[in-house]
Amino acid sequence: MNSAPAGHVLILGGTTEARHLADELADTPALRVTSSLAGRVAAPRLPVGQVRIGGFGGAEGMARWLREHQVDALIDATHPFADTISAHAARAAADAQVPLLTLRRPGWVPGPGDRWHPAGSLAEAARLLPGLGERIFLTTGRMGLAAFAHLTGQWFLVRSVDAPEPPLPPRMAVILDRGPFTLEGETELLGRHRIEVLVTKDSGAHATAPKLAAARAAALPVVIIRRPPAPQGVPTAETPAEAAAWLRTTLA
């Protein structure tokens, strides 16, 4: 580091990038780092340093927390689809007059041989499925399965970290697992369950990208759900190193 930042930074985390950023900042003596996790996963991977778990009570509650804990910078490193918390972060940072950065890994880009069908939402993804296949590998997480609960002509293989809760598709099997995954493992999984369609969100994570390569090799259609737009006017970094550089400049 050219100059060590000093102050208190709050990282809205839960992602690999958030943990790596906390690691990178851990050895900065004058910097206090707090990572905040939503608490939606039963056994989250905890970052180094101070951790708080749970919600803030909306944008107003987050702004109050920023002021009460004398936060000097806020970094939103949540999942690209955590649009509610990102909107709250933007409002809270503006209200508390705290500099805000969004840390988002780049999205996936289709390559030769990919058969992608973009969808703007889980509901739109569900509408596409009857025309694409009957055996579906669903990797959109456990929180949005209600969008597929009305589909009776499809069978779903659902993979999530924690067990999903109703409403659920009537014909389904569940695998509890978390990445990183391998191309060999994903290829075997698709073949063993005779998968015809992959449904995923454009999370952009390297740990879960092998499923796309496996689908490409098997010439399977992929319904990929587009990311919600990031809050306007908020600077963005794509890597923890870029976020750390922003923090050095901001807290100089």
Closest CA to 70 of 114, 130, 10: 10
Of the candidates 240, 250, 252, the residue with the CA atom closest to the CA atom of residue 11: 240
Residues 232-237, mean pLDDT to the nearest whole number: 95
What domain range is 21 assigned to? 7-106+229-250
In a domain, 1, yes or no: no
Task: Report whether pLDDT(42) > 80.
Answer: no
My answer on whether 32 and 74 are in the same domain is yes
Q: What pLDDT sits at residue 106?
A: 94
In angstroms, how far is CA 91 from the centroid of its own chain? 20
Q: Residue 2: is its pLDDT beyond 70?
A: no
**Cα(117)–Cα(127) distance, rounded to whole angstroms?**
12
- 165 and 70 in a common domain: no
Residues 41 and 97 grouped into a single domain = yes
Residue 126: predicted pLDDT: 98
CATH of residue 242: 3.40.50.720
Express each pLDDT in 139-160 by its tens digit. 998 889 999 999 999 999 999 9
User: Is the domain of 186 the same as that of 242?
Assistant: no
Portion of the chain with pLDDT greater than 70, in percent: 99
Place of tokens 């999984």: 189
Confidence check: pLDDT of 1 > 50 = no
- Higher-confidence residue of 196 and 205: namely 196
Q: How many domains does the chain have?
A: 2
- What does pLDDT average to over the chain? 94
- Tens-digit pLDDT profile for residues 4-16: 788 999 999 999 9
Question: What does the alpha-carbon distance between residue 240 and residue 16 come to, in Å, rounded to a whole number?
Answer: 10
Q: How far apart are CA 35 and CA 165, in angstroms?
A: 27
pLDDT of residue 225 exceeding 80, the answer is yes
Please give the pLDDT value at position 127: 98
Angle of helix 58-68 relative to helix 83-96, nearest 10 degrees? Answer: 50
